[in-house]
Structure 1
């Protein structure tokens, strides 16, 4: 490849991040793959020279580690073309069952960690790249649009991430040439699925027909159809090549169905109660 692109991929030890790292390298691009435990990528390091693959330690809950990664990218490659802001994890449990400290810890990763990566990305694209610009792909979730019973706080982290990213996009100067997309995957087969476990439970919610319990059963007996993650990352790579990418990319048939249902419900409620908004202005 005459002009390989430099990618930063967070959460590269498994799942979407690992497969994206492998795909980027196979395409002839350069991958900066980060993980809390970088030794998980030792096998990939053995296959590629340091000019093609740079593995760095990154815990996205540590702001100084995020800054250090971007400094290292500047020193090593001098530019950065695409960021796949992917690090995060899910946690099962009804809202009332989940301890506050566990929920806050997940917010530190899924919201604050991802947001700080996005902010450092924008700064780098604007101030270091010549000409300015770059692609930021934020891996959100279908639950960032429609919360799921049994994963309430995980849904909340993704809702928050969607909200701040939507505001960030509006704030950017178009002259900076920074393109941002929220990817909203449905249920894909990744190691994270297996790590959900039982999560947290509450005796008041022990009825088998309640959503949280149906959600648990679906994961444990393979009742949820899970899409092929390797095919998903191919679509995300294709997204990175679009000159005018969408702001949102729902990915997977279940994601499309969920988002369409949520949009339909919102529009129906707005239409049904539209009259309630009449006459609310101050009298003139």
Structure 2
């Protein structure tokens, strides 16, 4: 089989790094994009340029996104799979989170991901060999399905990514042979979590120690999160890229699945309870 060509954003650490390593071990081709290319020097020394291309890419800079795809085509002639993985985290109550930090998160996690998405779709359709198409794997989160205390801006970005991805999948022409999957994992061990810091606590929240975010502030994520292994999670996402008929949403992890099922049940209950309010509204 001809090795597939993957382009992965945010490949410096965590899941992006693990997936890059797995792709290379599988004798496929990885275009690993990072903000600081030297962080992958160990892989560059290990693999030839015919297998690994490391590119500088800040997803907040559209010209760098376009350049990355252009250099990918110059090096390999095509891109088969794009993993839209780059992102950042933020923690804090909606009321206490610094709005500047919230906007920066949305710029990266939604607008940056959107710009990668648009260039990936264009490239699959217009630059790849006719009919080859491609696969777009969007790194979402179950926090894009279920909002949890302390994750308001991160959840907002992932909810937006979920909505955009679902809409995009309904818009593209099937003859382009482009398949889109939103990866919806639970908590995966990464370099992001240790860097999260809480904003100053609002006294109104501090007054009630039973509030979810108050308890989180006084403990740690390890108290409430069951972490999933980064490498094994990468193997699941790698497997998803080989499905002939991939799902639009792929939930990964029991925490993601259980939280989503609770959300579905609660939503269905509310719909049933208030359905009668919609009677007689049609003109």
- Give the TM interval when normalised to the shorter protein: over 0.9
In 1: Cα distance, 2:254 partner to 2:14 partner: 19
Alpha-carbon distance between aligned partners in 2 of 1:221 and 1:117, rounded to the nearest angstrom = 32
CA distance in 1, matches of 2:118, 2:89: 23
* TM-score, reference length from structure 1: 0.96
3-state SS of 2:269 partner:
helix
Q: Would you say 1:244 and 2:245 are equivalent positions?
A: yes
What's the secondary structure of 1:191's corresponding residue? coil
Conservation of the 8 A alpha-carbon contact between 1:144 and 1:158:
yes
- 2: CA distance, partners of 1:221 / 1:80: 38
Is contact 1:94-1:200 (8 Å) kept?
no
Superposed CA RMSD in Å reads 1.2
Q: How far apart are 1:144 and its partner, in Å? A: 0.1
How much does 1:220 deviate?
4.7
Q: Which residue of 1 aligns with 2:132?
A: 132
Q: Quote the residue 1:121 is aligned against.
A: 120
Quote the offset at 1:219 in angstroms.
Answer: 3.1
CA 1:210–1:249 in structure 2 vs 1: closer, same or farther (change >3 Å)?
A: same
In structure 2, runs of 5+ residues without a counterpart are none
**2:95 pairs with 1:96:** yes
The Cα shift of 1:193 comes to 1.4
d(CA) in 2 for partners of 1:241 and 1:17? Answer: 18
Cα displacement (A) at 1:69: 0.4
**1:200 deviation in Å?**
5.1
- What's the CA shift string for 1:239-267, capped at 9, x where partnerless? 00000000001110000011101111111
Q: Report how far residue 203 of structure 1 moved.
A: 2.5
Q: State the TM-score, normalized to the length of structure 2.
A: 0.96
How many residues were matched structurally? Answer: 281
Structure 1: gaps spanning 5 or more residues: none
Native 8 Å contact 1:92 1:200 kept in 2: no
Tell whether the 8 Å contact from 2:98 to 2:199 is kept in structure 1 after alignment: no
